[in-house]
Structure 1
Amino acid sequence: MPDIKIRAKLSGDETTVKCLMSHPMETGLRKDSKTGELVPAHFIQEVVGKYKDQVVMTASWSGGVSKNPYLSFKFKGGAVGDPIEIAWTDNKGESSSASDTIS
């Protein structure tokens, strides 16, 4: 099942968010070794990072991103204990989200 591991750490006035997303990230170009059929495309299209319900990062992806992608970004602001949320939506309409507090 899709899963996101997230960590957010404050250093000075900058918060660093790191997350690991479990997802197959199929391009639609790989052939199944047993059947020879193309494996259907299945990849994350959009990732959104929110701080206190305000969007601080948006990423638009395609099939060129590796399986179980890792993402790291920084933003100015944040305080220890404040909420951070990461959410993604893929090309099949599936989605997942996770939240953490800044440490």
Structure 2
Amino acid sequence: MADPMRIRAQSSGDKTTVRVLMAHEMESGMRKDSSGNTVPAWFIQEVTALHNGKQVLSAEWGPAVSKNPFMQFAVKGAKAGDKITVTWKDNKGATRTDEATVS
């Protein structure tokens, strides 16, 4: 299983800023290894975020996203103690879900 995501959710007024650092190799399928063979594509395809179980973000990514991607977004109406859940799924079927509490 992939390493956990680092998620920070900080509230300021009626807006909560969510920052997510995902651990993933993100191979584009264009790079060659030391033997000259193409390294197969392996990247995050879908990212979703939930605020207390309600979807607030949905993204479709491709092979052009960098290794260990960072994502930031804002959520209106989240309060301290609320839960933010982020899930990703890659093109090989692996998935990872992590959660943070709004502070």
The alignment's TM-score, normalised by the length of structure 2, stands at 0.96
1:35 CA displacement: 1.2
- Rounded to whole Å, the distance in 2 between the matches of 1:55 and 1:8 is 16
Counterpart for residue 20 of structure 1? 21
Large movers: runs of 4+ above 6 Å? none
Q: For the aligned residues, what is the CA RMSD?
A: 0.7
- Percent of aligned pairs sharing the same letter: 48
- Rounded to whole Å, the distance in 2 between the matches of 1:98 and 1:90 is 15
- Rounded to whole Å, the distance in 1 between the matches of 2:52 and 2:28 is 33
| Secondary structure at the counterpart of residue 80 of structure 1 | coil
1:27 CA displacement: 0.5
Unaligned runs of 5+ in 2: none
- 1:1-103 matches, within 5 Å, as 1-2=1-2, 3-32=4-33, 34-103=34-103
- Rounded to whole Å, the distance in 2 between the matches of 1:77 and 1:63 is 33
Supply the AA of the counterpart residue of 1:61: W
1:86 CA displacement: 0.5
The alignment's TM-score, normalised by the length of structure 1, stands at 0.96
Supply the AA of the counterpart residue of 1:58: S
Supply the AA of the counterpart residue of 2:42: H
Supply the AA of the counterpart residue of 2:61: W
Q: How many residues end up aligned between the 2 structures? A: 102
